[in-house]
Amino acid sequence: MKLRMSQAVAVTTVVVCAMVFSPIMQAQGTDAGPTDPQIVGIVVTANNIDIEYAKIALSKSKNKEVLVS
């Protein structure tokens, strides 16, 4: 269940970023896709979401193997 929620949040983040950056690209008159800084922003956001969910999982885990690593 939690993994599905994490995946849903990641997908939602990517969709929102695409919606935000799409008008910017259209205004610039380019169909080349997102720029390098835009891609970095998307990746950083997705990574931060994964890190936060990992911290939550670590704090709630009762598995000794998870807690030791």
* pLDDT tens-digit series, residues 8-47: 777 777 777 677 766 666 666 666 788 899 999 999 999 9
* pLDDT above 80: residue 64: yes
13 and 45 Cβ atoms separated by less than 8 Å: yes
* pLDDT above 60: residue 1: no
* pLDDT above 90: residue 50: yes
Q: What's the confidence (pLDDT) of residue 36?
A: 92
Q: What's the confidence (pLDDT) of residue 40?
A: 95
Stretch 52-66: mean pLDDT, rounded?
A: 87
17 and 40 Cβ atoms separated by less than 8 Å: no
If one counts the domains in the chain, the total is 1
Print the domain residue range for 25: 2-68
